[in-house]
Structures are given as structure tokens and as C-alpha cells.
Chains A and B, each alone.
Chain A
Amino acid sequence: MNARDRRAVILGGGSLLLLAVVWLVILPWWADWSAVREQISESRQQIEDLQEKTGRLIAMDRQLEPVLGAAVKKPLAGIGASRAQLIKDLMDLHAKSGIQIRSMQPESTRPLRELPGVVRLPIQVQSTCQPLQLVQVMAAARDSSGLLLVDRVELASGAQQGPGGMNVTMVWSTLARQENAP
């Protein structure tokens, strides 16, 4: 093999090697790098979305907290746990306000159309109290550990209730996660 042949072999071999390197190493690597960069931008976008949603959530929580209490930040519990918590919260609430509960009657759960997987658990509470106490109960509901919502209120004066006493029928409710919901 003379020098020219050697040169030709070296050039040809080098070109083939270069092609192989480009084909087998550089192009896949470049594709991988592009995918990595794409993933970075996707992750960034996702994080920005999550941050934006978190910001909105925080703002809404901040708006709701003075009205409904700190319970708005808590995740929803299941129906059983929520109902038990609701009964306990209502008993505590009325006891703190000095209101005697005459009866407590759970009503049927209502699935919420706008919130799939979430139900509303209502309980009707009958008691006797003065209007002042009623306001106190509703104000104290914000400090309750669970979320307490007022569905209905009926207040009527009754002759047998004593001075200032009124028959109060209130339907309280809370939100719960449906057990079979994902």
C-alpha cells in the first residue's frame, strides 16, 4: 500500500467514522438534549401554573378565612369523620354560647353538582335562645375547628320560652369528601 492508498484509506475511514459518530452519538445526544430542554420549559410552565394557582388559592383562603374561619384551609375529611366532627363542633359551639340544644337531627347528604366528589352534610339543630345568643353562635362558628356553614335559620318568639327566649331552628352543614371519590 503506497502513501496515496494509505491517505485514501485514512480519509475514507475517517469520513465513515465521522458519519458514524454523528449518526450514533451526536444526533441522539442532540435529541436527548432537546428533550431535556423541552422538559425544562414544561416543568417551568407547570411550576408557574402551580404557583399561580397556589397564589390564587392563598388569596381566596385569605378572603374566606375571616368569614368562615381557619377551617377553610383544611382538607376535606370523609363523610363519617366530617359528620362526627360537625356534631361535636355544634355541641361545643352551643355549649360555649350557653344555648341548650333541644334536638339535633342529621338531614340527608346533598352531593354538590359544582363540586364532584364533595357532599354537603346538613344537621338541623333546634334550640331556645335570645337573638343575642344566636348572633354569638354564628360569630363563634368561625373559631370552630371544622367548617360550619349556615343553611337555614328560623327564629320565632314563643310564649312558653320565658323572657326574651325564642325558638330557634338552624340547619348547619359542612363539606365532606365522598368516600369512593378519588
Chain B
Amino acid sequence: MTQTTATSNAAWGLELSHTGAYLVRWELASAGASAQHRRTFPIGDFWQTGVLDAELLSALGQIPQAEPLGVCFPDQAMLCRGFSLPRAQANVMEKMVHAQMEALLSAGPERLTSSWQAFPDPLNAGMQWVLFCAGRREVLERLNAAIPPGVALRAVLPRALATAHSWPRNASSSELLVEVTHEAATMSLVADGHLLRCMVLGLDDAPETESSGSPGAQSWVRQSRQSYHSLLEGLPRDRWPRQGLIRGTNGEAAEMLPTLADALGVDLHPWSSAPDAAKHETTSPYLGAEGIARLIVDDPAALHINFARPAKALAAPVVIRHCRVMVLALACLAGVALLYGIDCYRSSWLSEQVEQVRAAAASSGGIEQRLAIDRYLEKNVSPAMPGLDAILAAAPPSLSMTSFSLTAGGQFRFVGALGSPNEVDDFLRKLLASKALANVEVRSLRNDQQRWTLELSADAAPAAGMLLITAPAKQAANLPVPGNSARGPIPAATAPATGPTKRGGV
């Protein structure tokens, strides 16, 4: 709840009590400090609805942005305690304070908002005094929310804390300060100018001059004594306050003084009798408002305990958070748009590629048609070359070819003459072993004048056309043409007994 703020020369104070709202402007000028623009507004049903009076809202709306506002609320809505702890490092101290606070507070953080500050213990050197203050969360939220957004709300404090520093300071001893308002009396224990503890007493049964002996008044006195003892709990007796000051915004302070002084055993004096009281109005209803305005102007660094929603402190992170969220959202959008763009580009590029490939394929007759043509050619390559090659490769030197044919259906017919049955046999064996020919069949074999005339047929082997031919010319070069053959036709009667007739594919 601590806010670090710049010093202002002018500030506004607003006290919201159950009887009214008091607004004042406090300015620290070269001529001295002065309170201006004091205005009182009806409080209406603010404590029930949280809505401030329209006039007050209008007045608040006119406060310049540069002049901060402090708001104080009734002490009944807070709890202010103090305790002494050994000096320790900040984190250790914080743990100890939280442990103490948990022990002291009956309600949890859902109902109470707390804040604390530590300073050297004025009653025990070497120790730290921790002053913590807890306020009802709903009251504080209502207060914070009621202030118009344009107003620089710098501090929200209970009245006791807002006015504590305006009391005259007696640095030499502890002192009891009693602040009386229309609704309550707040007893504050102050030592060396530091507020140590506060206790709040309701004024419903407060004694009046004429009825101080009534049972209600006696109960109130007893209660005030108990509260006073609670205020002094744990303090060495020699440091108990011997004297105190009392002030109030109405005449009740004076009426209460003798009863309270008697009940507490403290020499109580009205603030008007204090040495510097002449400088201040001691019974003004603007004491709370002026107190908090002065606190903002005089000593903003002292605002360790502060229930104001840190508007400015939060504003920057909120803006930053919003900016970050916006940046992240934009980055996400950009990422998504980038992915979309990449996909669009890929789609367009791929479509273009497909079209190009199709166009290229169409210009060359289309891939499908070319594949079909290739398949057709693969099946229909003529076996003429491999067949002729096989026959020529198998031909013995004495072979003289008479005829050779290849039909469109892939059937070979061959007629030729060989010199001896052995050559016939060898020739046929080689033809049978050929990969290009199948179903090699001898149609006839005749012996004519020592020459064996052979007629045979064969089918082209499947895919025979795809067989590669190597050096066909060389093989063909060995082929004797009929006119070149030295030997004549072989007589059919001298066909070898072991002739290769009907071999092979037969």
C-alpha cells in the first residue's frame, strides 16, 4: 500500500464521516500554509450505497490533476495496533509481522485490508516498532471506487492516522491523545512523535455532565479504561503516559475531559491549552480533511500506511499489460496471416507447377498417351532383328540361306542348306538355346547331292524385340550367301540318323 509520490505544494483533503463530507484544499505557499475552499457536503447514504453526493462529485471533478487528494474515513472502520519486534532483515521482519497480524486479526484478508510500517522503537532501543492498520475491505473498496477516475487519489487513511501528525509533538515522553468526533473517541498513544497504537471507543454511552453516574456512562468509563490498558499493554510502566491532550469537533471533548482523565489516571488537557494550539483551529470539523491534506503536502514519504488504490502505480502496468496483450495479439494475428499467406503462395505455386507440367505433357502428346505408346511399342517391337541375329549367330559356315520370312504375327520361316548332319544338329541346338526364338520346329529335312536342305519354323519369343543386338554386322559378315557357298545342296536321303528333326519346340 506504500506509494512513492512527488511532493505537491497543494493538496485536497476529504473527510467522510457519518455526519457529512468535508472537503478542503491545503496549500503550502511562500506566505505560509493555509486551508482554502472549505466545503461541507451531505454524506447521504454513501455508507450504504457507495455513491457520493452529486455536488461533492462535481467538486471533486474540478480538482486539478496536479493536486492530489487524500481521503480519511472514520476510525470505527479500522483497527490500529502496534508491537515491538527485534530488528531483523526486511524479509524476516515481514514474516514476523505477518505472523503477528494473523494472530491479532480475527478476520482474513477477504474481509480486512491491512498495511503496516516499522520504525525504531521509541520505548526500547534496539527494537523495531511495528504499527499496523487494518480496515474493512468493503469500506475501503467503496471509498476508492467512489472517487471519480480523473482525480489523483493519493491517500486513504483512517482519521486517527491522518490527524496524528498535526498533534503537537512532545519528543521527551509518551503521550495520550484523545480525538473526539460525533461518533467516537479515538485514543492514540504517541511516543517521540510516533503514533504507536490506537483504540476507538463509541460515544453512544458516553457520559454527559448531567448523567455521568448513569449505568451506561459507568460502562463506558469501564470500557474506556480497558481500552486504555490495551493501549498500554506490554509497555514498561515508567513509559506510560502521564499526560495527554484531548480535542474534538464539538463540545463533547470538554465535557468528557474530567471523566476520562479520572478514569484513565492521566492528566488530560484540551488541545487549546497546548503551546502551539493557537496556530490551529482546534474544534474545526475540517480537522480530518486538513490533516490528510497536510500530510500529503508536508510529508508524502510518511504515507507508509495507505489504503488508496495505487491508481497511478497500477495504471502503468495495466497500460503495459494491455500493450503487451495487444502486441501478443497482433503477433498472433501476424503469425496466422503469415501462415495463411504461405499456404496461399504454396497453393498458387503448386497449381502453377501442375499447369506447367500438364502443358508440357500436353505439348508432347500427353504423358498418358506417351506411356500408352511406349507400352504398345514394348509389346510390338519387331522381333526381326533378334530372330535374324539368332539364326545368323547359330549358322554354321556351310549354311546357304534359301529363304527367310517373318510374318506380322511374329512367326519365322527359314529354308537353307547345310553341309553335314552334324552341322544340322549343331545349328538346331543353337537355335533352341536362343532367347529370341521359341517353338523352333523342323518342317522338313532333305538330302540332296550331299547337301541337307532344312526347312524350319519358329515363333518369336515373348518380348524378343526388346533383346539388344550386339555387333549384328560382324555376325552377318560370316554368313555365306547361296552363290558363295562352295558346297552344293545336301541330298535328302543322306539325312543324319541323329538328325535334329522335330527338336526344340516340338
Residue positions of A touching B, CB distance < 8 A: 29, 33, 36-37, 39-40, 43-44, 46-47, 50, 53-54, 56-57, 60-61, 63-64, 66-68, 72, 75-76, 112, 114-115, 117-118, 130-132, 134-136, 138-139, 149-157, 162-166, 171, 175, 177
Contacts and interface: CB of A to CB of B under 8 A. Distances in A.
A166 B388 CA distance: 15
Nearest to B478: A132
Contacts of A155: 401, 403-405
Contacts of A37: 343, 347
Contacts of B347: 36-37, 39-40, 43
Given A67-B468, A75-B365, A115-B372, A136 B408 contact: no
Contacts of B465: 67
B404 A68 contact: no
Interface of B: 340, 343-344, 346-347, 350-351, 353-354, 357-358, 361, 363-365, 367-378, 380-382, 384-385, 388-389, 392, 401-408, 465-466, 468-469, 472-473, 475-477, 479, 481-484
A171 B373 CA distance: 20
Contacts of A166: 401, 481-482
A135 B472 contact: yes
A140 B344 CA distance: 53
Q: Interface majority SS on A: helix, strand, loop or mixed?
A: helix
Contact of A114 (B374, B376, B389): B376
A61 B364 CA distance: 14
A21 B269 CA distance: 73
A54 B360 CA distance: 11
Contacts of A154: 403-406
Given A155-B401, A175-B373, A33 B406 contact: no
A37 B401 CA distance: 70
Interface centre among A37, A40, A66, A67 (most CB of B within 10 A): A67
A112 B377 CA distance: 12
A63 B377 CA distance: 11
Nearest to B386: A67
A50 B361 contact: yes
Nearest to A43: B350
B376 A149 contact: no
A57 B401 CA distance: 41
Contacts of A64: 374, 377-378, 381, 466
B371 A135 contact: no
Nearest to B368: A53
Contacts of A152: 405-408
A71 to B, nearest CB: 10
B371 A56 contact: yes
A132 B476 contact: yes
Given A47-B353, A131-B476, A164-B482, A36 B343 contact: yes
Contact of B373 (A115, A131, A165): A115
A67 B380 CA distance: 12
Interface centre among A46, A118, A131, A152 (most CB of B within 10 A): A131
Given A139-B469, A163-B483, A157 B374 contact: no
8 contacts: A54-B367, A57-B371, A76-B373, A138-B384, A152-B405, A157-B401, A164-B482, A164-B484
B365 A76 contact: yes
Given A132-B476, A164-B481, 4 more contacts: A36-B347, A72-B374, A117-B369, A131-B479
Given A40-B347, A40-B350, A53-B371, A149 B468 contact: no
B406 A50 contact: no
Contacts of A44: 350
A60 B343 contact: no
A132 B479 contact: yes
B479 to A, nearest CB: 5
Rank and list the top 3 A-B pairs by shortest CB-CB distance, nearest first: A164-B481, A43-B350, A163-B483
B340 A136 contact: no
Contacts of A112: 376
A148 to B, nearest CB: 9
B196 to A, nearest CB: 43
A15 to B, nearest CB: 19
A162 B373 contact: no
Given A130-B481, A138-B388, A155-B405, A39 B351 contact: yes
B242 to A, nearest CB: 55
Contact of B388 (A29, A36, A56, A135): A135
Contacts of A67: 381, 465-466, 468
A115 B351 contact: no
B170 to A, nearest CB: 49
A131 B401 contact: yes
A75, A76, A162, most chain B CB atoms within 10 A: A75
